[in-house]
Amino acid sequence: MNRAAIVLIPALLLAGACSKQSAEEVESETIVPVTAEPAATGSIRATISVTGTVTAAPGADQVVIAPQPARIAEIPKAEGDRVSAGDLLVRFELPSLTADVATHHAEVTRAEARLQNARAGQTRAHDLFDRGVAARKEVEDADRELAEAQAGVTEARATLGASETTAGLATVRARFSGVVAKRYHNAGDLVDATAADPVIRVVDPRRLEVSASVPIPDVTRIVVGAAGHMKNPAGEGEIALKVVSRPAAVDPGTAAVPIRLAFAASDVAPVGTPVQITIDAEEHRTAVLVPSEALVHEGDEAAVFVVKADKAERRVVTVGIDDGAHVEILSGVKAGEPVIVKGQAGLPDGATITTEAPDAKDKADDATDKDGDAKDKADAAKGKPDSAKEKADVKDKPKK
């Protein structure tokens, strides 16, 4: 019996130690404070972020190109100058066109003289035929000559008009009021008649737009009239835009296509300014929404933590639209379920938690701030008697 008692005592001591260690482990389990919000039901809209360039709208951009190789005789406007419709932009020296106009003027004069002679010949032939002196053939020849002279005058005048129109290209005037965006040449320069050698460019700052490069898969998500936003290049805030057109055809082999967006305001940014814009795309109504900060990403997997009694339950979710503030949950969470939005980082599945309302911390911070303000005021009030005392000491101090 003594030997059995000796064996039993260590066993009891070991059992007691295990029981004590287990109890200590349960008592030392950490309770994690978290903040939770119920998953809501609402509407969410997707956005497409792309880059674009500020350009002039169709009809608000005038680029002057020489009608033929020529020398610039006059170009009075400089970059940044305002121009009104009809103002002179460029005058070219085109001697060959001037010579053509003179030549065609002479041709018109000769044609009109021939017409005058033909009319006189016709009158004379008819008179002689009526008196029986001329033959009918002479009358017919006179009529034919008059008709050909009339045709010659018409042709000569048309040619003269064309040459005068071409010569008129030597003087280029502004089609609309605007600003000189770029001046490429000076007076006296020789220029070619190609688009690669422009002379001056005028744009209307009241009619600007953004040309955005949108990936082809996203084009069908954008509709004409959709709203857009652009960061203000001149400062803080955003500038409102509206989609005015999208392409009807796409060139093979291209990965993106241009989308045109109009400004709600005018004179927003210089032409050619690169900008970042967002365009409203599809909208989902009655979607299950959670704050974006509630998502936990592990590789390609997205998850959230749902409050179950006093435990945190990890749920793998399928995500839809993300607008930066909220995320659409397609599966994994139902509307109304409390989702942890703060404190879920590094939280294991099944961890014991204690929850607080989303605004509890904010209220606590506000209370702390108020206490701090009250303390500052009290310290200031406490310092006033000292100041008064110092004044009294100065007053009682004998003058030297």
Which tens digits make up the pLDDT trace of 39-66? Answer: 999 999 999 999 999 999 999 999 999 9
* Residues paired with 49 in a beta bridge: 278
Q: Are 307 and 342 in contact (CB under 8 A)?
A: no
Give the separation between CA 356 and CA 354, rounded to whole angstroms. 7
The pTM assigned to this predicted structure is 0.61
Q: Which three-class secondary structure state does DSSP give residue 358?
A: coil
Q: How far apart are the first and last CA of the chain?
A: 106
Q: What is the DSSP letter of 323?
A: -
Per-residue pLDDT at 245: 92
Same topology between domain 32-43+285-356 and domain 95-168: no
Q: Are 293 and 269 in contact (CB under 8 A)?
A: no
| CATH code assigned to 95-168 | 1.10.287
Instruction: Break the chain into its structural domains and give their ranges.
Output: 32-43+285-356, 51-58+204-284, 64-84+172-203, 95-168, 359-394
Give the separation between CA 127 and CA 121, rounded to whole angstroms. 10
> Band of the pLDDT at 169, cuts 50, 70, 90?
confident
Q: Are 207 and 60 in contact (CB under 8 A)?
A: yes
Rounded (10°) angle between helices 136-168 and 95-130 = 160
- pLDDT tens by residue, 324-372: 899 999 999 999 999 999 998 888 999 999 988 665 445 445 544 555 5
pLDDT of 105 strictly over 80: yes
Q: Are 204 and 60 in contact (CB under 8 A)?
A: yes
Give the separation between CA 75 and CA 316, rounded to whole angstroms. 69
Dihedral over Cα of 183, 213, 246, 264: its sign: negative
Q: What is the DSSP letter of 152?
A: H
Q: Which CATH number fits domain 32-43+285-356: 2.40.50.100, 3.90.550.10, 2.40.420.20, 3.20.20.70?
A: 2.40.420.20
Q: What is the DSSP letter of 67?
A: S
Q: Scan for tokens 């029981």, then name that residue.
A: 19
Q: Scan for tokens 């349960």, then name that residue.
A: 26
Question: Tokens for 225?
Answer: 């009239």
Question: Tokens for 57?
Answer: 């709208």
Q: Which CATH number fits domain 51-58+204-284: 2.40.30.170, 3.40.190.10, 3.30.2130.10, 1.10.3720.10?
A: 2.40.30.170
